[in-house]
Amino acid sequence: MKKDKIIVALAGNANVGKSVIFNHLTGLHQHVGNWPGKTVEKAEGTLHFKGYTIDIIDLPGIYSLSTFSIEELISREYIAVENPDLVINVVDASVLERNLFFTLQLMELEAPMVVALNQMDMAKKKGIKIDHKKLEKMLGAPVVPTVATSRTGIYELMLASVDTIERGIEKTAGIRYGEEVEARIQKLSKMVSKLQLPYPVRWVAIKLLEGDEQIEGRIRQLDPNISFAARKLAKEIEGIHGHSCSTVITSERYEIAGRIAREVQQIVPSTKLPMRERLHAVTTHKILGYPIMATVILSLFFAIFSFGDYTSQLLSVLFEHFHSIYESLFGTEILATLIWGGIIEGLIAGITIALPYLIPFYLVLYFLEDSGYLSRIAFLMDNLMHKIGLHGKAFIPAMLGYGCNVPACLGCRIMETERERLLATFVVTLVPCAATSVIILGLVGAYVGFQWALLLYIIDLLIIFVLGRVAFKMLPGEPTGLIMEMHDYRTPHLETIVKETWFRLKEFVKMAFPLIIVGSFIIKLMEVLGLLKIIAYVLNPITVVWLGLPAITGITLIFGVLRKELTLLMLLTLFKTEFGTADFANVPGFGPREMIVFTLVTMLYIPCISTIAALVKEQGWKRALFITFFEIAFAIVVGGIAYRLLMLTGM
């Protein structure tokens, strides 16, 4: 059967060059979104090749097809149920054994497969020679050696892929386990074959023996006898081997992977220590590692922020000019004001705040990840981050949060499980961003005293620590310690990094900008309609009674949703019209105590609208709203307590 449209999925471990191959194949014809209802990224693209339109799906980088993470579940469901015409398994030739472990699992899923033996250059550097013809014979699937970063073998890979599809689905042979296990797989397969399932029979039998929760649950619903029998058979294997059945199967699978790897590769390790090993040693050194890390991170962040700040300022000035032109053209009628203040300013906020920081941040993040340095930072920082229930990897987004929460939220995708992503995202939104720092330093630092500003930062750290721990304990799912591959250092592929940045940015703009614009339009509309005073009045019990702040702060706190530094500017304007003074020191009823409470509340009360948009994009509406409302409530509680404590100290 010849069809014009075929679907090919890319699967493989993390950091094997999968995304480089994906970008070579799809070029600019790609789309990055999320898997439906999931917080996992889905990259799709199209390629025209030999008269076919080929849809390429880049599956998440994973090490196994069990149920450890949502990525693993998504990948195996996709391969088993959606049945792509072909799976290209991208394999890192320089770490063959571990990669083949995954290949074997793909074979068990009975997916038609072509293996891209990637990073052949790296393997060569490590003194590894691989007989790919022999590997092909042993796996029963075409193997194409590639060096994705230099495009070597990509054309041949696609030729082999199309050829495999045209020859019709060739079921790979699968692997044979030890006799005790094999006999029981056969027995169970017979029972399973009577059921109607979207998965291969043998695979289901193996998963049942492994005690796979998802498959077991499904089978139990269909026929409890089978799941009962599976448990009995698994117990028998346990009795023979003295390890759990799942352990026995995984270990045998690894043994087979190891055997294949040993048969097809020859290793002649070089006698002198290569550069990348020396670099690894020094960057993970127990003393030297830290100053190096501090220097790298600080200079990268400095670069991000100076670029962001400069561009942001430049754009602001530019839009300022536009504003005067706009006013001279359309006047300051209500409608014109509404359109400018509501729609265009929302757009400007998005462009001037998010983008200047996002672009360099994405570039830096992908650079760190691709080169391998990110995992070294995680290695060094894991212990510290563990105190708040996070991994070392979360250090980068957390640090970045001090600049802007938006990229920090988006950066949390580097965390491995959904639980960790949510936790990291939550913690990151509590970090005071640059705009919050403007308020902390500009109000408390300038008018109350520097030590008070410092105290606020410390309080914030304490809050992060406490809430992080609480969330860590409360979140469902199993907490996992760190276990992470530290792949060899390598030069990142610039083109891939730029493309990755570009498509994520595009996705963010599509997702976040409508939200930012609608948000600012609503607030502007309320202002134009004179609703703000009423809202401030309604908020009186909270702002005046509970927090002890002047009533008009209610208005500024609403505006702070758009951009946090607006609270300070608005406050200044409102005080000016109310009391005729633009100096915070002379405002009646707004002394040091109120300043501290106000800043504390602003610091904690809500992620700004761009951050909320990022939250929605990464975590979905429900969680985004939950985090938002939780933080509002939390800020109010903390603010009220702080107010009373400050009263007690006689401030």
Partner 1 sequence: MEKRLSELKPGESGVIISIQARPNHRRRRHHGWGFQKRLEDMGLTPGARITVVKSAPFHGPIEIRVRGSRLAIGRGMAKRILVRVEK
User: How far apart, in whole angstroms, are the C-alpha atoms of residue 268 and residue 276?
Assistant: 17
Member of 41, 44, 55, 97 binding partner 1 (CB under 8 A):
97
Report the candidate in 90, 60, 78 with the shortest Cα–Cα distance to residue 7.
78
What is the nearest approach in angstroms of partner 1 to the Cβ of residue 75? Answer: 13
What is the nearest approach in angstroms of partner 1 to the Cβ of residue 64? Answer: 4
Member of 272, 286, 473, 622 binding partner 1 (CB under 8 A):
286
Member of 34, 250, 316, 337 binding partner 1 (CB under 8 A):
250
* Residue for token pair 């006799």: 179
What is the nearest approach in angstroms of partner 1 to the Cβ of residue 98? Answer: 5
User: How far apart, in whole angstroms, are the C-alpha atoms of residue 76 and residue 319?
Assistant: 49
Member of 23, 26, 66, 436 binding partner 1 (CB under 8 A):
66
Residue 63 sits at the vertex; the CA angle it makes with 62 and 68, to the nearest 5 degrees, is 80
User: How far apart, in whole angstroms, are the C-alpha atoms of residue 617 and residue 631?
Assistant: 18
User: How far apart, in whole angstroms, are the C-alpha atoms of residue 207 and residue 230?
Assistant: 10
* Residue for token pair 């070597």: 152
Member of 34, 152, 189, 247 binding partner 1 (CB under 8 A):
247
What is the nearest approach in angstroms of partner 1 to the Cβ of residue 101? Answer: 7
Member of 95, 120, 264, 587 binding partner 1 (CB under 8 A):
95
**Strand ordering across the sheet containing 52-58:** 30-34, 41-49, 52-58, 5-12, 86-92, 113-118, 143-145
- Extract the tokens encoding 294: 């501090």
CB 406 within 8 A of CB 354: yes
User: How far apart, in whole angstroms, are the C-alpha atoms of residue 314 and residue 282?
Assistant: 40
The interface mask with partner 1, positions 484-513, x = CB under 8 A, is: xxxxx-------------------------
For residue 585, the one-letter residue type is A
- Extract the tokens encoding 427: 């913690």
What is the nearest approach in angstroms of partner 1 to the Cβ of residue 233? Answer: 16
Range in contact with partner 1 (rule: CB under 8 A) among 4-12, 108-116, 299-307, 481-489: 481-489
Give the phi and the psi of residue 383 in degrees, each rounded to 5.
-65, -45
- Extract the tokens encoding 584: 């915070």
What is the nearest approach in angstroms of partner 1 to the Cβ of residue 137? Answer: 22
User: How far apart, in whole angstroms, are the C-alpha atoms of residue 31 and residue 321?
Assistant: 35
Residues composing the chain: 651
Measured in whole angstroms, how far is the alpha carbon of residue 245 from the centre of its chain?
A: 33
Range in contact with partner 1 (rule: CB under 8 A) among 48-56, 62-70, 395-403, 626-634: 62-70
What is the nearest approach in angstroms of partner 1 to the Cβ of residue 480? Answer: 6
What is the nearest approach in angstroms of partner 1 to the Cβ of residue 618? Answer: 23
Beta bridge partners of 44: 31, 57
Given the complex with partner 1, which of 163 and 213 has the nearer CB atom? 213
| Interacting residues with partner 1 between 372 and 391 (CB under 8 A) | 375, 378-380, 382-384, 386
User: How far apart, in whole angstroms, are the C-alpha atoms of residue 548 and residue 590?
Assistant: 9
Member of 82, 170, 182, 213 binding partner 1 (CB under 8 A):
213
Dihedral sign of CA atoms 416, 420, 426, 432 in order: negative
Member of 46, 64, 311, 337 binding partner 1 (CB under 8 A):
64
User: How far apart, in whole angstroms, are the C-alpha atoms of residue 543 and residue 24?
Assistant: 56
Member of 482, 511, 528, 551 binding partner 1 (CB under 8 A):
482
What is the nearest approach in angstroms of partner 1 to the Cβ of residue 604? Answer: 29
What is the nearest approach in angstroms of partner 1 to the Cβ of residue 78? Answer: 19
How many residues bind partner 1 (CB under 8 A)? The answer is 44
CB 75 within 8 A of CB 26: no
Report the candidate in 431, 404, 402, 400 with the shortest Cα–Cα distance to residue 414.
400
The interface mask with partner 1, positions 227-246, x = CB under 8 A, is: ----------------xx-x
Range in contact with partner 1 (rule: CB under 8 A) among 222-230, 314-322, 437-445, 476-484: 476-484
CA-only gyration radius of the chain, Å: 29
Range in contact with partner 1 (rule: CB under 8 A) among 20-28, 404-412, 480-488, 602-610: 480-488
The interface mask with partner 1, positions 391-420, x = CB under 8 A, is: -x----------------------------
Residue 584 sits at the vertex; the CA angle it makes with 579 and 585, to the nearest 5 degrees, is 105
- Extract the tokens encoding 147: 């060096």
Range in contact with partner 1 (rule: CB under 8 A) among 199-207, 255-263, 495-503, 505-513: 255-263
Given the complex with partner 1, which of 287 and 648 has the nearer CB atom? 287
Alpha helices, DSSP H, located in 63-178: 70-77, 96-108, 120-125, 132-139, 154-166
Member of 96, 364, 368, 398 binding partner 1 (CB under 8 A):
96
478 scored as a contact of partner 1 (CB under 8 A): yes
Given the complex with partner 1, which of 41 and 277 has the nearer CB atom? 277
| Interacting residues with partner 1 between 421 and 460 (CB under 8 A) | none
Residue 459 sits at the vertex; the CA angle it makes with 453 and 464, to the nearest 5 degrees, is 130
Range in contact with partner 1 (rule: CB under 8 A) among 4-12, 188-196, 253-261, 534-542: 253-261
The interface mask with partner 1, positions 118-157, x = CB under 8 A, is: ----------------------------------------
220 scored as a contact of partner 1 (CB under 8 A): no
Member of 7, 38, 121, 254 binding partner 1 (CB under 8 A):
254
Per DSSP, 341 falls in state I
What secondary structure, in 3-state letters, does 29-91 show? CEEEEECCCCCCEEEEEEEEECCEEEEEEECCCCCCCCCCCHHHHHHHHHHHHHCCCEEEEEE
Given the complex with partner 1, which of 66 and 429 has the nearer CB atom? 66
483 scored as a contact of partner 1 (CB under 8 A): yes
Report the candidate in 421, 541, 487 with the shortest Cα–Cα distance to residue 119.
487
101 scored as a contact of partner 1 (CB under 8 A): yes
SS3 627: helix
Given the complex with partner 1, which of 63 and 503 has the nearer CB atom? 63
Q: Given the rule CB under 8 A, which residues bind partner 1?
A: 63-64, 66-68, 95-98, 101, 211, 213, 243-244, 246-247, 250-251, 254-255, 258, 261, 284, 286-287, 375, 378-380, 382-384, 386, 392, 478, 480-488
